[in-house]
Amino acid sequence: MNNFIAPSPPLGFFCLPNDVKRARNRRKDRIYRGFVIVFTFFIYASYHLSRKAISVVKNAWNCTTVTTHNWTQNATANCTGGWEPFDGPYGKVYLGTLDTCFLVAYAVTMFFISGQIGDRMNLRYFLLIGLLGSGIFTSALGLPYFWNYHGLWYFAVMQILAGAFQSTGWPSVVAVVANWFGLENRGLILGIWNAHTSVGNILGSLIAGAVVAHWGWSFIVPGLINCGMGILTALYLPSDPSEMNVSPPQHHELPSEEDSLIDQDSHQTTETTVPVSNAPPKAVGLCRALRIPGVIEYAASLFFAKLVAYTFLYWLPFYIHNTLKINGQYISEEKAAYYSTFYDVGGIVGSIFIGYLSDVLKVRGIATVLMTYSSIPALFIYNRYGGLSEGATIGLSFMCGFFVNGPYALITTAVSADLGTHKTLRGNDKAKATVTAIIDGTGTSGAAVGPFLTGWIAGTGWKNVFYMLITACAISGLLLTRIVIQDIRYLMKRRTRK
């Protein structure tokens, strides 16, 4: 059985105005596509909103403020109380362990479960399950504040469960958007759409930061937002054009001489193709998806790109609060949360820029590597000069977000959608969630490593943490070398044939 639940219009469809229902197909198409892109934007912003809370609460939990790059030296000038066991000499290790619990559960569940289910189940209901589970277990992280409970195991288990349910989000929303939008301008469209990650992080920082003095609410409020968004998703999200009687988009250019060049450069032989059949397409398995040209390279590159991005996601407010001094004073928890949002603003601009650049170049690999290598000097400058002034903190946080989040965003959106509808699949549209899960699941494995290593390396000085991040960026770019060479050959051949 290929689908657990047969496609059908969402219940909210029956509440649409009659003039929309009676509209011509072309107008319907524009209305529905516009609604889907906006609604999925807020769905995934909701996921990230709840994920951001713990990075803000870390400052309230850990009271061993670093003043001399020695994590065992206690300095309580900016401390608001602490929370056992996170306020002891191994507090940062425990915090890094919680990040790892979440991300390992997220990666494993996404890689082996979420993508496979997403290509077999109606994505509307799959997102409902994910958002409700995420909301419940995110809220549960805040309950120890009211219980005065301090068991590390409880926080770890809740993080594992929250990570497992959060893994439903990304492959599902990417698959929904790929169902509705074809190849044309996909990089730019998904680059703008991918701002949901940064918008969710910003909202998460502001919401969690506003109530961090009573940190239990920093988890409960985002958790309730997740649950509410899940209910709205079940009521209103059309996961596929067929549900609304709308024609599907075109995922590939019409066959041309250039296509044969790409096939030769990609070594796309008949061994990787699927015979055309009139039977309904079946969901693509894990091994088949791994054989799609480019999947392994981009997944490996994302491992290191996401290692860097998630180290910033989980540790940037802590780094700003405990390390940067402006006019001789450490930055408060509330201001640290506020300043960290400029990293996400930079991520929004970077995602849009790289999406547009990849559409103009007609290749994704070159755009990805250019920005990946540009992030290396950006990280070095931020570590060296980030504490000169408030303007430097804001400006350099923005710059890092621009260069770090851009490649990460392109790989997880446009690249994943391209490969999930790759021409070697011969029209089989049951691979989008699986391919997205492979790429992002591998990336999340790196995301689990980065914050965990940071918890240990920070004790030797944050300069060493930045050296780790710079090395990861270099490796991420090198892993795409074959893709870049292939892109260059394609561009040169296309130019000679004009």
Annotate 356-424 with DSSP letters as a single string: HHHHHHT-SHHHHHHHHHHHHHHHHHHHHHTTS-HHHHHHHHHHHHHHHHHHHHHIIIIIHHHHHT-GG
| pLDDT number for residue 272 | 40
- Lowest-confidence range among 36-40, 63-67, 378-382, 400-404? 63-67
135 has pLDDT over 90: yes
Residue 249 is assigned to a structural domain of this protein: no
| pLDDT number for residue 251 | 52
Residue 343 is assigned to a structural domain of this protein: yes
187 has pLDDT over 90: no
| pLDDT number for residue 424 | 55
Gap between the Cα atoms of 429 and 3, Å rounded: 13
CB 367 within 8 A of CB 361: yes
95 has pLDDT over 80: yes
Q: Domain with 288 in it: what CATH number?
A: 1.20.1250.20
Residue 329 parent element (H or E): strand 329-330
The percent of residues in the chain predicted with pLDDT above 70, rounded, is 81
410 has pLDDT over 60: yes
- Residue 181 has which token pair? 């939008």
| pLDDT number for residue 277 | 46
Gap between the Cα atoms of 317 and 340, Å rounded: 6
Mean pLDDT for the chain overall:
81
Gap between the Cα atoms of 333 and 214, Å rounded: 13
- pLDDT band for 397, please (50, 70, 90 cuts): very high
- pLDDT band for 451, please (50, 70, 90 cuts): confident
Q: What is the mean pLDDT of residues 376-404?
A: 91
| pLDDT number for residue 482 | 93
Peptide bond into 241 cis (omega under 30): no
Q: Which domain holds residue 201?
A: 11-244+255-496
Q: What is the mean pLDDT of residues 186-200?
A: 85
Phi-psi domain of 82 (left: phi exceeds 0; alpha: psi -120 through 50; beta: other): left
Residue 460 is assigned to a structural domain of this protein: yes
Give this prediction's pTM: 0.74
Q: What is the mean pLDDT of residues 88-100?
A: 84
CB 212 within 8 A of CB 56: yes
3 has pLDDT over 50: no
| pLDDT number for residue 221 | 96
Q: Which amino acid is at 113?
A: I
Residue 326 is assigned to a structural domain of this protein: yes
- pLDDT band for 65, please (50, 70, 90 cuts): very low
Q: What is the mean pLDDT of residues 251-257?
A: 41
Q: What is the per-residue burial (b if ≥16 Cβ within 10 Å, else e) of 395-428? A: bbbbbbbbbbbbbbbbbbbbbbbbbbbbbbbeeb
Surface-to-core class of residue 496, CB atoms within 10 Å of its CB (0-12 exposed, 13-18 middle, 19+ buried): exposed
96 has pLDDT over 90: no
For helices 481-496 and 365-385, angle between their N-to-C axes, nearest 10 degrees? 130
Tell me the C-alpha to C-alpha distance, in Å, between residue 68 and each of 47, 90, 99, 416.
36, 16, 25, 43
Residue 3 is assigned to a structural domain of this protein: no
Residue with tokens 């290598």: 373
Q: What is the mean pLDDT of residues 25-47?
A: 87
Domain count, the chain: 1
Q: What is the pLDDT of residues 97-108, one digit of tens each?
A: 898 899 889 888
- Taking the alpha carbons of 205, 199, 201, 307 in that order, is the dihedral positive or negative? negative
| pLDDT number for residue 250 | 60
The percent of residues in the chain predicted with pLDDT above 90, rounded, is 36
| pLDDT number for residue 259 | 43
Tell me the C-alpha to C-alpha distance, in Å, between residue 224 and each of 142, 221, 230, 269, 395.
12, 5, 10, 50, 33
- Residue 419 has which token pair? 């490969």
- Residue 161 has which token pair? 């469960």
133 has pLDDT over 60: yes
Question: How far does Cα 432 stand from its chain's mean position?
Answer: 16
Residue 1 is assigned to a structural domain of this protein: no
Q: What is the pLDDT of residues 230-252, one digit of tens each?
A: 999 999 999 888 888 777 766 55
Gap between the Cα atoms of 455 and 227, Å rounded: 31
Q: Which amino acid is at 477?
A: G
Higher-confidence residue of 165 and 389: namely 165
Q: What is the mean pLDDT of residues 140-154?
A: 94
- Residue 71 has which token pair? 């994590």
- Lowest-confidence range among 41-50, 145-154, 305-314, 477-486? 305-314
Gap between the Cα atoms of 136 and 159, Å rounded: 11
Gap between the Cα atoms of 122 and 292, Å rounded: 24
Question: How far does Cα 193 stand from its chain's mean position?
Answer: 12
Residue 199 parent element (H or E): helix 195-210
70 has pLDDT over 80: no
Residue 184 is assigned to a structural domain of this protein: yes
Q: Which amino acid is at 408?
A: Y
Annotate 267-323 with DSSP letters as a single string: T--GGG-----SSPPPPPPHHHHHTSTTHHHHHHHHHHHHHHHHHHHHHHHHHHHHH
Q: Which amino acid is at 479?
A: L
- Residue 243 has which token pair? 């549900």
Residue 250 is assigned to a structural domain of this protein: no
- pLDDT band for 336, please (50, 70, 90 cuts): confident
173 has pLDDT over 50: yes
Q: What is the pLDDT of residues 259-295, one digit of tens each?
A: 433 343 444 333 344 444 445 555 556 677 777 888 8
Using alpha carbons only, what angle is made at residue 103 by residues 170 and 393, rounded to the nearest 5 degrees? 90
- Residue 163 has which token pair? 């990570």
| pLDDT number for residue 23 | 55
